Structure 1
Amino acid sequence: MVEFHTSEHDELVRPWQASVELAVLRGPDGRVLSVNEAFARKFGVPRASWPGADASTLIHPDDVAGWRGAVARIDRPPHRGSHEHRWQTAQGWRWLSWEDCAVRNADGVIIAYRSIGRDVTKRRLAEEHFQKLASAVEQSPFAIVMTTPDGRVQYVNPRYTQSTGFTLEEIFEKNIPVLRGGHVSDESFIEFQETMRLGRKWTGDLCTRRKDGAALWEHVQVSPIRNFADEVTHLLSMREDITERKKLEDQLRQAQKMESLGTLAGGIAHDFNNVLAIINGFAEIAISRGPANETQARHLREIQDAGQRAVGLVKQILTFSRKTETMFKSVSINQHIKDLGRMCAETFPRTISFGFALDETIPEFSADPNQLQQVIMNLCVNARDAMLAQGGGRISVATERVRGSALLRLNADSEREYVCIKVADTGCGMPAHVRARIFEPFFTTKQTSGGTGLGLSVVYGIILNHKGFLEVESVEGKGSTFLIYLPLEAVKPSAAVVAAAGTARRIPKGTETVLVIEDEQALRDLLKALLVPSGYKLLMAPDGVEAVNMLMSEPSTIDAILLDLNLPRMNGLEVYRNIRRLRPDTKVIVISGNITPETRQELIGLGQKDFIPKPYSLEDLAFRLREMLDRKAQSVA
């Protein structure tokens, strides 16, 4: 072991005695030989107390291994090294940076290790803070862009490249105008620039385009960054992808709009039903009494035919507005599609071909077969019309089973299974502004060819009535695809009462007393013209209150009641309750063009059996009335 005196130790650290840097001399065994005043002050121990101390006891436990490795490296040429570790000082744990060198004698033997150090805690904390900040920016779920005040990109984080699809090289080399993108006009961008010039924060929603052309909605905040002289040196743009939120907002607005239109359509349809009942009824009476000549007979038949077509339109309006009752039955969707496909193939132009890809594992499920037929037919007709202008094309119809978990974007039940009906065409497609309105009633692009604008509105109403979902994909010039999702539910018995159809016979006679409760004067006149000549005695009530008064005051027997549900002063349901209370044995036919499933169920629960929808056939009404009265007579006998 090489030995030398304390004075020699002090000589080795003397050049650093007045220095603010720390100096320590250690022997080959690691024990302290000498320190300068700065070292002693740093650790709060007098210089004289340091010789023989073990410096490694002051190092943070997590850094001891690293420190020993650094010391061991000094034994090898070039016998110098540097390292940074945490030390327990008088001020607590501090980061100290050391420059080490080996002290050798004339024979080249290492006799000591000299370390010169400085406190770098502030720098290390700053670096750690910067590293955390850099990691936060790099891993941020928001896209972050830093530009110069004139818009030249200086930095973008990975989230920005992910959301836009552009690489870093493309962003810098192509000088993509990230601040200008999304502003709908030059005026909007100028207003943004003025906000930045004034040093204020700008916030707004912008719609830009990804590299693949897809729309990208972002909530953008742009803030100025200032230097020590309060000058704006950079602009920081924080961008949150809100594309999915925008889609949900659009779906909500569309649903609210369609609900409002449905309510309006249902109200209009009710009024139309009354008008059509009057037109069709008096035309039927005029025809039954024998027109004066063939020309008059032809005119009456034209009126009746037009009235029946109008009845069909009203039914479509009520289907759209979901004001009609759905008759759920067991449905084999693939068989329906095959049957309709054969019919369409026979009736559509030969330039239009059909293709089918049907999943035969789809079981029968609960649905209204007539309404589903209407959906598929409307979509096929629309596809046909979209392809006629270009001379023909192909309609593809497919079915498959889909888990609800794959349809969460549509708010589907993740526990349910759905059947997807896909109808695609190779037609002209639709621009965005047309696609946004196709389910609105009376909106049509086929004004010159007699389109009513109700086909897709009816489809929309039927799908919602079946608790299903509807999606549309269309590119102008490349065709359209309609995707319908219906829940695969087992068949539930329907409580709907189906009115028996009348037969083409002479209006039956009767002598009974009938109370007609109807607010429309023309309809009361129509029923009077039908029933009085047939021998019935008629009582008339124009509203619910008068009807109840008549039930209480009329001394004679009332054999039957024809009850409209939509009445002033007292609604028809309340009138029916009074009938059951005041005249429980009187038979009632409920007549309404706008009866909801809930109202029908309530009436059935109160014992009602006979229903006739408006507009009705006078012949059907007369036979239904006679059948009901005869049924009563038989039960009494």
Structure 2
Amino acid sequence: MTDRTLRILVIEDNATDFKLIQRQVEGFGFAASFSRIADRDQLSRSLCEEWDLVLADYNVPHMVFEETLATIRDRYPELPVILVSGSVGEEQAVELLKRGMSDFVHKDNLPRLAPCITRAVKEAKEHHARLQAEEALMLSERKYRSMFDHAPVGVGIGELDTGRLVEVNRAWLEILGFEHDEVVGRTATELGIYLNGVQRSAIVRHLQEHGRIVNQPLRLRRKSGEGVDLLYSAEILSIGPTSYMQFMLTDVTEEMKTRRALAASEETLRKLYVAVNQSPTAIVITDRHGTVDFVNPRFSELTGYTAEEMVGKNPQLLWANLCKGEVWQGDFCNTRKDGTVYWEHDIISPIRNQAGEITHYMAIKEDVSEKRAMEEQLRQAQKMEAVGQLAGGVAHDFNNIMQVITGNAYLQTVENQQGGVDTQHLDEIVKAVEHGSSLTKNLLVFSRKSAVELTNFDLNDLLGQSRKLATKLVTEEIAIELEPCAEPLYILADVGLMQQIVFNLVTNARDAISGRGSITIRTRRVEADGGALTCGCSATSGSYAQLSVRDSGHGIPEEIRGRIFEPFFTTKEVGKGTGLGLSMIYGTVQRMNGFISVHTPPDGGTEFVICIPLTAPPAETPRLTEQGVPVGSGELVLVVEDEEAVRSALTRTLVSSGYRAVAAGSGEEALVIARKSTGIALALIDVILPGINGIECGQGLNALHPSLPVIFLTGYDNDILAGKGIMANVLHKPIQSSRLIQRIREVLEARKEQGG
């Protein structure tokens, strides 16, 4: 959502589609105004206006989308452009994304449009904010330099040990009569400024003993040879391993003639000293009535008020509080000389003279960067938890849709087989459902709605299936090379999470490569016989399947290599990484009893190596065909499912397989049916139900019929159900109808053998 009305330009020739898009955007709570165009002339006129977003169809008469995109990009490089079309394939969409399109939404999936708009507008806003921040930083640097160059007193900085001058301002040059090129890189002794050889050594000794010098008289020699009377202040600055002396010079030759001139000079020196030499504190200079003449940049950082907002104003509340001697404290972000950014907490308090008058302000600083980083990590974890909950809800609804598809495909398959009709197309539908199920499983694992499901599979087969999708994660300049082991490598792991590990490592490798490069994915069998594996993994015994992902990128510096698996640690730019990818890989590998290491090969790049224990090949089990699905004998099955389409598919599947079925749309309705009927042989219950949930419904049914077997349809883990006191069969959606019928028959026969 946005806090203002979005101006959206829609390039669409179909008025109905335009209304659907408008209704979809407004239905998600966006405040937006829409303007529809359908030809190039309208586009030219429209681009003279300001827009927040462009939604464009691909096939608009007399308009080529690629040319339209290029025209918009030339005029407004950062304007988000989202393609909303029903005729663009995946590969074509990927190509358009590379040309600058922000995102792609299929017209059959318009609910995805709202999050796409939110993300695109947010990214554009963040990019604009970064540009503004960079402009502000450049302006700040110019202000600091201008203050130094145009200070009304001479300011110089020199090395403490050698006396070599590294910088002086214009006033310093005017006072002593030199040109800038004559001074920088030379010492004051070489320039002949000191009257004798002990002046500088006395100044340095006093600084080392007392820390600073304030408004002390000093007589020096100009380039012309004439003497000049000065008041100087100095202090030692330590920057890295080198110590410098910063000093200010004020020509007081004429002011020394009279005490009045001297008093005026001392007041000027006091203001300049506070403004320049104590710059770490907030400085406000006002007249005797409290009207602001000057504020330094640190004041703006502390209060949020710029110099333009304060000069000429009389901030009664702020000025009154400071004059009363009240303490100010707060946090703000600062930048060190080396460019690193940190957060500090300041307490600014006044310093009084013996008469009780405020003369200066003292700032006590504390580095709170780590504390703020921990707070940010907590906010990030909370955001990830919210995303996880959303992902779990989406996966649940999607699995229900998949259950309806697979149920109806099964019923049609049975009908086709009875009529001798080919079922090839239906088999493809079932395969697609299985693929969709594997995708939603990743969402469920991410949202912690599903536990890791360990299965026995060949790692080489998994990589072969994942290669096509992995190639879509990289650019054409990066080649993915697969070098599988000659023998099968059977492991006990979660298929979906192993794919996720491979894709995450490929994505990281892609980000590490600039220009042309390669990513090599290799598998082999390794043995650990009493010593650690040569790859660096800490396994000491056993046989392992080794998976390595190697890239030709810039590598990982040795100083941060030990931190890459830490949560929230990332070297990517802001917005390009959460710092969770490698830590999640590390945790997943450990859950599968494996090991992971990283090192830099001699010829450059980075190589991640994962070792997972090998297992014996799975036993061959005959595949159950649809013709071999056991049929029922008229047993009555209670189906409890709140989704009508899912409930209908399940009941029709049971009836077609020789069972009788009675359906309930809620747990309460199921309990009412159970009280009236004693002939229920088995209950098939969805865990997520309105009102009382599926687990509570199962408990209620067992209370009415203690021997009634219950099968749960769910996306949750078995351990979660067991923790609720439910010891029952669990099937995870979407479940193939043949497998469902087989499980029902197995449960009923087991009950019969137990005399139930």
TM-score (norm 1): 0.52
Letter in 1 for 2:400: N
Aligned length: 424
Q: 1:285 aligns with which of 390, 411, 416?
A: 411
SS at match of 2:347: strand
- Cα distance in 2 for residues equivalent to 1:236 and 1:483: 55
Distance in 1 between residues matched to 2:408 and 2:357, nearest whole Å:
86
Structure 2 partner of 1:386: 511
* Inter-CA distance 394–275: structure 2 relative to 1 (3 Å threshold): closer
* 8 A Cα contact 1:329 1:369, kept in partner: yes
Provide the rounded CA distance (Å) in 2 between the counterparts of 1:400 and 1:146: 60
Q: 2:244 aligns with which of 169, 172, 175?
A: 169
Helix, strand or coil: the match of 2:574? helix
Take 1:177 and 1:268, find their aligned partners in 2: how far apart are those partners?
A: 55
Q: 2:388 aligns to what?
A: 262
What is the CA deviation profile of residues 577-623 of structure 1, one whole-angstrom value per residue up to 9, with x for unaligned ones?
Answer: 22322222222211112x245423236x5442x21001111121111
Where in structure 2 are the equivalents of 1:250-329 lying within 5 Å? 250-290=376-416, 304-327=430-453
Q: Within 5 Å, which residues of 2 pair with 1:44-193?
A: 165=240, 168-169=243-244, 178=280, 180=297, 188=305, 190=307
Q: Tell me, yes or no, if the aligned pair for 1:502 and 1:623 is still in contact at 8 Å.
A: no
Counterpart check, 1:600 vs 2:721: yes
Matched-pair contact (CA < 8 Å) for 1:146–1:156: no
Q: Is the 8 A contact 1:262 1:321 kept in 2?
A: yes
C-alpha change, 1:501 and 1:620, in structure 2 (3 Å) is farther
Q: Following TM superposition, by how much is the alpha carbon of 1:237 offset from its aligned partner in structure 2, in angstroms?
A: 1.7
How far residue 328 of structure 1 moved from its aligned partner, in angstroms, is 7.2
CA distance in 2 between partners of 1:467 and 1:238 (Å): 51
- 2 CA distance for matches of 1:436 and 1:147? 50
3-state SS of paired residue (1:589): strand
Compared CA separation, residues 586 and 218, structure 1 to 2 (3 A): same
Cα gap change, 1:328/1:618 in structure 2, threshold over 3 Å: closer, same or farther? closer
1:289 partner SS: helix
SS class of match (2:624): coil
Which residue of the partner structure matches residue 498 of structure 2? 373
**Residue 539 of structure 1 aligns to a residue in which SS?**
strand
Larger radius of gyration: 1
Matching residue of 2:662:
539
Alpha-carbon RMSD: 5.9
Identify the residue that residue 63 of structure 2 maps to in structure 1.
none
- Bigger mean CA deviation after superposition, 266-275 or 423-432: 423-432
Shift in Å, 1:222: 2.7
Query: What secondary structure sits across from 1:290 in the alignment?
Result: helix
User: How far apart are 1:432 and its partner, in Å?
Assistant: 3.0
Sequence identity percentage: 30
- Aligned residue for 2:741? 622
Q: Alpha-carbon deviation of 1:220?
A: 1.7
Aligned-residue offset at 1:629: 1.9
Shift of 1:229: 6.3
How many Å separate the matches in 1 of 2:670 and 2:576?
50
**Contact 1:277-1:615 within 8 A present in 2 as well:** yes
Asked if 2 retains the 8 angstrom alpha-carbon contact of 1:262 and 1:320, the reply is yes
Deviations 1:538-575 (A, max 9, x none): 111211122122222104x2212111111222222222
Question: 2:329 touches 2:346 (CA, 8 Å); kept in 1?
Answer: yes
Distance, in Å, in 2 between the alignment partners of 1:587 and 1:567 is 19
1:332-389 Cα shifts (integer Å, max 9, x gaps): xxx989x979x989x87996699xxxxxxxxxxx995657634531322213432566
User: Cα–Cα, structure 1 residues 336 and 313, in superposed 2: closer, same or farther, change >3 Å?
Assistant: closer
Q: Give the letter for the 2:694 counterpart.
A: G
Which residue number in structure 2 is paired with residue 612 of structure 1? 731
Distance 1:277 1:401 in 2: 43
Find the counterpart in structure 1 of residue 362 from structure 2. 236
Give distance in 2, aligned partners of 1:220 and 1:147.
25
Q: In structure 2, do the counterparts of structure 1 residues 156 and 388 end up closer, same or farther at CA, with 3 Å as the change threshold?
A: closer
CA distance in structure 2 between the partners assigned to 1:306 and 1:319 by the alignment: 20
Amino acid at match of 1:242: V
Distance 1:465 1:526 in 2: 37
Asked if structure 2 preserves the Cα contact closer than 8 Å seen for 1:182 and 1:208, the reply is no
Say whether 1:432 aligns with 2:573: yes
Please give the secondary structure, in 1, of the residue aligned with 2:498: helix
Q: Give 3-state SS (helix, strand or coil) of 1:577's partner.
A: helix
Unaligned runs of 5+ in 1: 1-133, 139-144, 355-365, 403-420, 440-454, 473-477, 491-499
Provide the C-alpha distance between the structure 2 equivalents of 1:147 and 1:396, rounded to a whole number of angstroms.
67
Q: 2:689 aligns with which of 567, 580, 603?
A: 567
User: In structure 2, do the counterparts of structure 1 residues 326 and 554 end up closer, same or farther at CA, with 3 Å as the change threshold?
Assistant: same
Mapped to 1, the partners of 2:327 and 2:412 lie a distance apart of 77
Distance 2:383 2:683 in 1: 39
Indicate conservation of the 8 Å contact 2:392/2:447, yes or no: yes
Structure 2: which 5+ residue stretches go unaligned? 1-207, 216-231, 249-275, 282-296, 482-490, 523-534, 540-547, 556-569, 599-603, 614-620
2 CA distance for matches of 1:559 and 1:512? 6
Indicate how the Cα distance of structure 1 residues 371 and 508 shifts in structure 2: closer, same or farther if over 3 A, else same. closer
Paired with 2:663 and 2:213, the residues of 1 have a C-alpha distance of: 81
Measure, in 2, the Cα distance between the counterparts of 1:464 and 1:196.
60
Contact map agreement 2:235 2:247 (CA 8 A) in 1: no
- C-alpha contact (below 8 Å) 1:351/1:392 kept by paired residues: yes
2:244 is paired with a residue of what secondary structure? helix
Identify which of 565, 590, 594 aligns with 2:712.
Answer: 590
Distance 1:268-1:344 versus aligned 2 partners, 3 A rule: closer
The match for 2:84 is: none
